[in-house]
Amino acid sequence: MDEKNRLGLLFTGIGAVAGIVSALLTGKFPLALIVVLSALMYYGGSYVPHLIGVDFDGYGGRRKILQTGVFSFIQGWIVLWFLLYELVNFQ
C-alpha cells in the first residue's frame, strides 16, 4: 500500500473517532465548539504519519499531508456523526 492510501486510512480513522466524539457531545455543547474540536483532531492527525511509515519530509510536509487527508477525514467524521446521533436519538 502506498503512502497516499495509508494517509487516507489514517485520516478516515481519525475522522471516525471525531465522529463518535461529535455524536456524544451533540446537544450538550454548542455545535461551533464541536466543529472546532473536530478541526483540532484533524490538525493533530498531521503529527502521527510516522506511525504508519510515511516519511514526513519526503511526502511534502504537514501541508501536503493535510491536503491528502481532508476528504477522508470529512467522510469518516460526517458519516459517523450523523449515524450515531440518529441511532442514539431514534424514537
Q: Which long-range contacts (CB under 8 A, 24 or more apart) does 55-61 make?
A: 55/3, 59/3, 59/7
- Domains identified in the chain, total number: 1
Mean pLDDT of 69-77: 95
Domain that holds residue 69: 3-88
The pLDDT assigned to 56 comes to 85
**Predicted confidence (pLDDT) per residue in 11-45, tens digit:** 999 999 999 999 999 989 999 999 999 999 999 99
Query: Which helix (H) or strand (E) segment is 5 a member of?
Result: helix 3-25
The pLDDT assigned to 63 comes to 92
